[in-house]
Amino acid sequence: MPRSPYRALPSVDRVCAELRARSVDAADSVLLDLTREALAEARARIGAGGEAPTLDAIAGDVTARVDAVRLPPLRPLINATGVILHTNLGRAPLAGEAIAAMAAVSRGYSNLEFDITSGRRGTRHSTLAPLLRRVTGAEAAMAVNNNASAVLLALAALAAGREVVLSRGELVEIGGGFRIPDVMRQSRARLVEAGTTNRTRIEDFEAAIGPRTAALMRVHASNFRITGFTESAPLDGLATLARRRGVLLIDDIGSGCLLDTAAYGLAPEPTPQRSVAAGADVVLFSGDKLLGGPQAGLIVGRNELIARMQRHPLARAVRLDKASIAGLAATLRLYIDGVAEQRVPVWRMIAMPVAEIERRAGAVVAALGAAAQVVDGRSMVGGGSLPEESLPTRLVVLAPVRSAATLAGRLRASDVVARIEDGRVLLDLRTVDPLDDGRVIDACAALVRPQ
């Protein structure tokens, strides 16, 4: 009777002993778990008709698994797609000042909730509030972990059990299935729709106000646009209506833009400064989009309303961590100092002259020779900001020595993310740090030059 191939498999103890003899550096419990995984998969392959692996093969398999466990789950990538706020690649890269501030408070202890003057407990809200007040003109401010949390907290603290009036054209869904009507239900506020999908006037909001109305709300359509026969109620008109009818006005402006996008040839984007000046009681926006800081949801507005949100139980569940607070504070100071365009990477990319991109693209092509060429193209802002808005750029097109999908995949293996368009692999250096141009050249040269 032939010997069962399963009996040829080494035991767990034998594999672990071999790994220790090879000085594989991992905790015993990790080696044990990974060895069991490898042997279980080997038994499955035998059951499917395969041969039993040797002790050497099993030990090599487990060693590779140990190496994989050690790899960090997140790794830096070079974004050559031309999408400035690329949600899948982590949105806004941070300014050096923000990175330094986050590292500094993460190394040890800080005054996160400690009043240095009195020696007593303080509040984490006190760090960002003065900076946010200065850049927006609001009376008060606070920060939470993202803008979805800001919306949820504002509605829960200010409108739970009551009605909030919102235009039908603003019942949006953003990434990950985040829907405004669902957030309303979670906050226990009741949604009241006003107007139609494409046209909503001040009169529509007024007709929707009733005895249970707590607030009027505007939601910026960050990731889509309705065109054609459209009309929306102006914010200052909504503010006047809200004051006259004794209700609040909540303005969710989305991307958190602090600079004038029109100055860069882009469509106007709502800013918290304009919302506050127009009379919104509470303004909500993101910290990691056009603001260019770490992930955060920022809330500015009237003193008593911000205080109510800070006291709400949900505020603790969605509060911002110390590193993000430090990074956001450093980013806001760049706006206060008037150097955001030069120091905040998002704005540096938006402001980058086409001539500069062409010069860099030409250097890449010169290094790659006939394997590449420079063509005209467009860079996208992306990240739930300025839908369909783009900037002129110059693209490096790689020669199709293999399929575009294969070439792009091999570039990703070298940590360079390109984009595929019309069957071509394109590199947009607008979204590449100039210090990484050499790495882009090296990654491309290994793939497109004749062997």
Query: For 144-165, how does the pLDDT look when each residue is reduced to its tens digit (9 = 90+)?
Result: 999 999 999 999 999 999 999 9
Mean pLDDT computed over 38-55: 91
Q: Among 2-6, 203-207, 341-345, 360-364, whose mean pLDDT is lowest?
A: 2-6
pLDDT of 225 > 70? The answer is no
Tell how far CA 54 is from the center of its chain.
46
pLDDT of 14 > 70? The answer is yes
Average pLDDT, the chain: 92
Cα distance between residue 114 and residue 120, in whole Å: 6
pLDDT of 323 > 80? The answer is yes
Cα distance between residue 123 and residue 112, in whole Å: 7
**So what's the architecture of 96-343 in CATH?**
3-Layer(aba) Sandwich (3.40)
pLDDT of 276 > 60? The answer is yes
Residue 177: its pLDDT value, please?
63
What confidence category does residue 448 fall into, taking pLDDT thresholds of 50, 70 and 90? confident
Per-residue pLDDT tens over the stretch 207-220: 999 999 999 999 98
Cα distance between residue 154 and residue 436, in whole Å: 41
What confidence category does residue 176 fall into, taking pLDDT thresholds of 50, 70 and 90? low
Top-ranked range on mean pLDDT: pick from 41-45, 52-56, 96-100, 166-170: 96-100
Contact 435, 99 (CB under 8 A): no
- Which of 77, 80, 85 is closest to 380 using CA atoms? 85
Percent of the chain with pLDDT over 90: 77
Cα distance between residue 287 and residue 274, in whole Å: 17
Residue 4: its pLDDT value, please?
83
Report pTM: 0.88
Per-residue pLDDT tens over the stretch 72-98: 888 999 999 999 999 999 999 999 999
pLDDT of 402 > 90? The answer is no
Top-ranked range on mean pLDDT: pick from 20-34, 94-108, 390-404: 94-108
Residue 2: its pLDDT value, please?
62
Domain ranges of the chain: 5-70, 78-85+351-448, 96-343
Percent of the chain with pLDDT over 70: 95
Residue 388: its pLDDT value, please?
73
91: left (phi over 0), alpha (psi -120 to 50) or beta: left
- Which of 300, 165, 343, 183 is closest to 241 using CA atoms? 165
Residue 32: its pLDDT value, please?
93
pLDDT of 118 > 80? The answer is yes
pLDDT of 394 > 60? The answer is yes
Mean pLDDT computed over 194-206: 90
Q: Which CATH number fits domain 78-85+351-448: 3.40.50.2300, 3.90.1150.180, 3.30.300.10, 1.10.3720.10?
A: 3.90.1150.180
Tell how far CA 50 is from the center of its chain.
45
Q: Among 40-49, 62-71, 234-243, 399-408, whose mean pLDDT is lowest?
A: 399-408
